[in-house]
Amino acid sequence: MTADKDKDKDKEKDRDRDRDRERDKREKARESESSRPRRSCTLEGGAKNYAESDHSEDEDNDNNSATTEESTKKNKKKPPKKKSRYERTDTGEITSYITEDDVVYRPGDCVYIESRRPNTPYFICSIQDFKLSKRDHLLMNVKWYYRQSEVPDSVYQHLVQDRHNENDSGRELVITDPVIKNRELFISDYVDTYHAAALRGKCNISHFSDIFAAREFKARVDSFFYILGYNPETRRLNSTQGEIRVGPSHQAKLPDLQPFPSPDGDTVTQHEELVWMPGVNDCDLLMYLRAARSMAAFAGMCDGGSTEDGCVAASRDDTTLNALNTLHESGYDAGRALQRLVKKPVPKLIEKCWTEDEVVSSDGSVPCALGHRAFPSQCVTSCHLGARGLIAETSRVYRRAVASSRHGGSL
């Protein structure tokens, strides 16, 4: 009996061990299932698995909403990007320019223009008109406004000094405020051309007659004012009202005093000599010239022995010039001039200025040709001849040509 009882106890122990092992396996399986990420699933027939936790259902809802939003964004079409455009009249005149941001620019607007220099504020201009280039690019003519920093410092300091002198101390001037001081501009007549793409916004510019009227200016956003104008060529400030102003900046700049040149250092040239004074009666002058030519003709006949020599002497220009010079030297007294012409009615010919020896010496050293016939002389280049030789040879050839024509011979 005792043996049977022992066997039964052993069997019960074995059963208990088996049960413990099965429990351990189940617990391990549950732990592994709880550690895995649970997802919502759907059973057959469309019923959901309600064994899943609430946390898994919330995550699924979030994921579904995210996917739906992404799909709607993808399916939603983006609006087309606007392009800049311009409006024109029937005559072709461009009246306005509209940017991509629907900002409208018209002639007369004060605008900002982009500056290509780094760390430099925008340029301020006034639009004059729009025009199209040859490549259909929209251009605009603008008139410049100069900032205080764009004006030479010496010019601006003269302006500040004038304003302080006009107001004694300058305490009541609006320009003492540094904010308003930087808002002052200077208008100019300088016009430049820019591309419409350089526009960077619009601004407001007010005009005041003087610095005291500028007290009404309020330093708002994109607001400026101007009182004076600036000329970049002369680098001077001027009033836009045309009034008379007194001050250091309005005085004329005189050049430095130049001393008189010393007579020793400069070459002194002779003055021109007066050889004729107008105002002589034409009839008296004509009678005087006729008398002078008659005297020259008589002298020529006496020298040459023929009437032809007298006609040649009377018709020469030297005879007329000699008569006019004699009249001038005689104080325009025709009687006294004729008395002087009796002694010398015909001026000395240029060929007679040389002696016979000089003419003979230069006779064989000058080449000369009359038509296709060459004179028998030693041929040399013109660089070996002087002015005296050329003149002597010319006169000699002239005399020989005249002599041959008279006697019918050849040279």
If one looks up domain 274-347 in CATH, what number appears? 4.10.1240.50
Encoding tokens for residue 273? 């000599």
Tens digits of residue pLDDT in 47-102 = 444 334 444 445 555 555 555 555 555 555 555 666 778 888 888 888 899 888 88
Give me the pLDDT at residue 33, please: 47
What pTM, to 2 d.p., does this model score? Answer: 0.41
Residues of the chain with CATH 4.10.1240.50: 274-347
β-strands 223-231, 199-207 pairing: parallel
Q: 310 exposed, middle or buried (CB, 10 Å; 0-12, 13-18, 19+)? A: buried
Residues of the chain with CATH 2.30.30.490: 85-243
Give me the pLDDT at residue 186, please: 92
Q: How confident is the model at residue 27 (pLDDT cuts 50, 70, 90)?
A: low
Closest CA to 189 of 231, 219, 228: 231
Give me the pLDDT at residue 267, please: 59
If one looks up domain 85-243 in CATH, what number appears? 2.30.30.490
Tens digits of residue pLDDT in 320-348 = 888 888 888 888 888 888 888 888 777 76
Tens digits of residue pLDDT in 196-231 = 889 999 999 999 888 878 888 888 899 999 988 898
Residue 118 has pLDDT above 70, yes or no: yes
Give me the pLDDT at residue 250, please: 63
Q: What is the dihedral of CA 156, 159, 161, 167, to 10 degrees?
A: -140
β-strands 85-88, 94-98 pairing: antiparallel
Question: Do 312 and 300 contact (CB within 8 A), yes or no?
Answer: yes
More confident residue, 316 or 388: 316
Least confident among 51-65, 125-139, 178-192, 303-317: 51-65
What φ, ψ does residue 93 adopt, rounded to 5°?
-80, 130
Least confident among 100-104, 258-262, 371-375: 371-375
CA distances (Å), 296 to each of 307, 309, 310, in order? 12, 10, 7
Give me the pLDDT at residue 141, please: 92
Residue 5 has pLDDT above 60, yes or no: no
The proportion of the chain whose per-residue pLDDT surpasses 70, expressed as a percent, equals 59
Give me the pLDDT at residue 383, please: 39
Contacts from 78-82 at CB under 8 Å and sequence distance 24+? Answer: none
Distance CA 224, CA 32 (A): 77
Helix (H) or strand (E) holding 158: helix 153-166
Give me the pLDDT at residue 265, please: 56
Tens digits of residue pLDDT in 144-202 = 999 988 888 888 888 877 777 766 654 566 567 778 888 989 999 889 999 988 999 99
Average pLDDT over the chain reads 72
